[in-house]
Amino acid sequence: MSVTAADPTRTQRLRRVFVLVGIALAAVALLVEPVARRQLSDGRSVDLGVLQLKLAYNSGVAFSMGDQLPTGVVLTITAAITAGIGVYAWRTASANSMTAMIGFSLMFAGAAANVIDRGLDGKVTDYFHTGWWPTFNLADTYLTCGVALLIAALFWESTRTPAKASPA
């Protein structure tokens, strides 16, 4: 993800984008969850074709892994990973592209929204159901899209950056 030499103005702009996009997306995910809980709490499902809205809860992490662990342990680990993503994105902003920073923002927003949701009642609220994939939420889509965008940025930038000649 190396970009040109560090420009303080560019670095500040990338950090600002990271924070603003992260906060905005996390807020959207956190605002959707109580609506999903309220509208789907009676066991009702809304068919949207390929996707259904159906309420589920996950006390573990991805694919319910760790659901037997105490909530405090899962919360501590996921909060530490979320903080790690944030710190890494912040500290490497000068070497990242805008695409990579938006990828980091998506990952951070998704992770932070899930940590906050879990902190409220010990579990994450999920509501997107496919029937062939575990039920997930908006924050999970942020995480997935963020990782995909970050990988795309890495590949894109590696093809645009000329290879350095190795010393003979």
Please report, in tens digits, the pLDDT of each residue of the chain (168 residues total).
544 556 889 999 999 999 999 999 999 999 999 999 999 988 888 888 889 999 988 877 766 666 677 778 888 999 999 999 999 999 999 989 999 999 999 999 999 999 999 999 888 999 999 988 888 999 999 999 999 999 999 888 777 766 555 565
By DSSP bridging, strand 124-129 and strand 45-47 are: unpaired
How far is C-alpha 113 from the chain's CA centre?
8
Element (H, E) at 136: none
Angstrom distance (rounded) from CA 46 to CA 91: 43
* Backbone angle region of 66, left / alpha / beta, with phi > 0 → left and psi within -120 to 50 → alpha: left
Q: Which residues are catalytic?
A: 126, 140
* Separation CA 156–CA 158 (nearest Å): 6
Q: Which of 35, 28, 24, 27 is nearest to 125 (CA)?
A: 35
**CA atoms lying within 13 Å on the CB side of residue 67:** 10
User: pTM for this one?
Assistant: 0.84
- The C-alpha atoms of residue 19 and residue 117 are separated, in whole angstroms, by 19
Q: What is the DSSP letter of 64?
A: G
Task: Note whether 44 and 154 are within 8 A (CB).
Answer: no
Residue 71 confidence (pLDDT)? 76
**What letter represents residue 127's amino acid?**
Y
Confirm if 97 and 161 have CB atoms less than 8 A apart: no
